[in-house]
Amino acid sequence: MSARDFFHSLSSIGPVQIGTGRDRQGRPRHVAVCTAEGCGWSSDYASRAAATLAARTHRCRIA
C-alpha cells in the first residue's frame, strides 16, 4: 500500500508531507512522511499538531 493511497488531506511542510488516514483499528492517524529522495523518514501521531510539529522539526539529511 503506497502512502498516496493511504493519505488524504495532504499538506506539505518543506519536504515533509502530512496526511491523515486510519490504522487497522479504524482510528484516525496523522502521518508525516519525508519525500526527500533517500531520506525515508516517516512517523505517525495521534494529533495533527504533533505531526505538524514533527514535520517542522524534522532534520532532513538530504534537503
The amino acid present at 53, given as its one-letter code, is: L
Residue with cell 514533527: 54
Q: In angstroms, what is the minimal distance from the CB of 35 to Zn ion?
A: 8
Which of 41, 51, 54, 55 contacts Zn ion by CB under 5 A? 41
What would the grid cell of residue 42 be? 516517516
What would the grid cell of residue 49 be? 499538531
* Closer to Zn ion by Cβ: residue 16 or 30: 16
Question: How far apart are alpha carbons 42 and 18 in whole angstroms?
Answer: 10
Which of 39, 42, 44, 45 contacts Zn ion by CB under 5 A? 39
Position 60 contacts Zn ion (CB under 5 A): yes
Residues near Zn ion, by CB under 5 A: 34, 36, 39, 41, 60
